[in-house]
Amino acid sequence: MSYTKSSAAVESSGAIADPMLDITNLNVYYGESHILRNVDFGVASGKMVCLIGRNGVGKTTMLKTIMGLLAPRTGSIQFRGESIVRKSPDQRARLGIGYVPQGREVIPRLTIKENLLLGLEALPGKGQKKEIPEEIFELFPVLKTMLSRMGGDLSGGQQQQLAIARALMGQPKLLVLDEPTEGIQPSIILEIEAAVKRIIKERGISVLLVEQHLHFVRQADWYYAMQKGGIVASGPTRELSQEIIQEFLAV
């Protein structure tokens, strides 16, 4: 059996020993159209989980629901053992979910430095010192050279690095990345990949990744495959077979 069917996937996600994020029976609608159907999903502490699937199956909807931008009709979302379904996006960010959305969403008419400083908003406590840790520049050296440029003037790849760096400024416990390599040249993809791997290794945080780029998908510990708004397969990524890749990745 190359991949497990949905019932088995529920068991495997339910079997996570130490869940950072635990989603059960999630149903999300846009108006009357049913987007996510009975989704069960989990991210273990310190692991990198990849969500794959073709366009329009509900991957971004899933991330938006986790972030609180969409309200589920039914289902529970637990973050570190606490239900967050009723919390607003800013409260979720302050609990420790760092979000890097599709399309980067860098604030265009703020400088790079201001964009990075906004990342500190997710940290609890007031009066923190307003400076950017050197670690950020080690991960993304390109940002250091252009701190006073406007966010909207950067290229796509630079914006992506800025968006990830910004999310890291808030020291999240779960980093949510939505297609970080979309429309970005290969050399930058490798840089971003290396940075994400290094963050996991050094900080021990969890990462939830939506990705189409196979090389990046292979870095994850666990994968979930989505089809028509439901999880149809899951397993360790080392077991990710050519068959599944053919079926769920748009390559």
Partner 1 sequence: MSGLLDGLFNGISIGAVLLLAALGLAIVFGLMGVINMAHGELIMLGAYTTFVVQNIFKPLGAPWSDFYIFFALVAAFIVAALVGVLLERTVVRYLYGRPLETLLATWGVSLILQQFIRSVSPQFVVGVGLFCALYFGAIAIISRRPDFERIRNWAIAIMVPISVAIALTASNVLGQSFKLGFTRPWFGTQGVDVTAPKWLRGGLAIGDSQLPYTRLFIIALTIVCLLGIYWFLNKTNWGLRIRSVTQNRTMSACLGIPTQKVDAITFAIGSGLAGIAGCAVALLGSVSSNTGQAYIVDTFMVVVIGGVGKLIGSIMAAGAIGILSYVIGSNAIGPLFDSMPFVKSIFEFFATASMAKVVVFALIVVFLQFRPAGLFPQKGRTVEA
> Does the footprint of partner 1 cover residue 105 (CB under 8 A)?
yes
Which of 15, 20, 14, 3 shows the shortest CA–CA distance to 39?
14
Which of 50, 111, 14 shows the shortest CA–CA distance to 236?
50
> Does the footprint of partner 1 cover residue 114 (CB under 8 A)?
yes
> Does the footprint of partner 1 cover residue 93 (CB under 8 A)?
yes
> Which is nearer to partner 1, 101 or 229 (by Cβ)?
101
Contact in structure between 76 and 50 (CB atoms under 8 Å) = no
Residue 168 CB, nearest approach to partner 1 (Å):
12
Identify the residue among 8, 16, 85, 117 touching partner 1 (CB under 8 A).
Answer: 117
CA distances from 70 to 42, 51, 55, 203, 209 (A): 18, 18, 19, 29, 18
Identify the residue among 37, 54, 87, 94 touching partner 1 (CB under 8 A).
Answer: 94
Residue 132 CB, nearest approach to partner 1 (Å):
14
> Which is nearer to partner 1, 8 or 110 (by Cβ)?
110
> Which is nearer to partner 1, 99 or 222 (by Cβ)?
99
Element (H, E) at 195: helix 186-203
CA distances from 13 to 9, 116, 199, 248 (A): 6, 34, 24, 19
Residue 242 CB, nearest approach to partner 1 (Å):
36
> Which is nearer to partner 1, 86 or 109 (by Cβ)?
109
> Does the footprint of partner 1 cover residue 119 (CB under 8 A)?
yes
- Listed in sequence order, the residues at least 6 apart from 19 whose beta carbon sits closer than 8 Å to its beta carbon are 42, 43, 44, 45, 78
- For residue 14, the SS3 value is helix
Tokens coding 54: 């073709």
> Does the footprint of partner 1 cover residue 152 (CB under 8 A)?
yes
Q: How far apart are CA 12 and CA 6, in angstroms?
A: 10
Residue 239 CB, nearest approach to partner 1 (Å):
33
Identify the residue among 122, 132, 165, 192 touching partner 1 (CB under 8 A).
Answer: 122
Of 45-53, 119-127, 188-196, 228-236, the segment contacting partner 1 by CB under 8 A is: 119-127
Residue 118 CB, nearest approach to partner 1 (Å):
5
> Does the footprint of partner 1 cover residue 118 (CB under 8 A)?
yes
- For residue 41, the SS3 value is strand
> Which is nearer to partner 1, 13 or 159 (by Cβ)?
159
Contact in structure between 53 and 248 (CB atoms under 8 Å) = yes
User: Footprint of partner 1 on this chain (CB under 8 A)?
Assistant: 67-69, 88-90, 93-94, 99, 101, 105, 107-110, 114, 117-119, 121-123, 130, 152-153, 166, 170
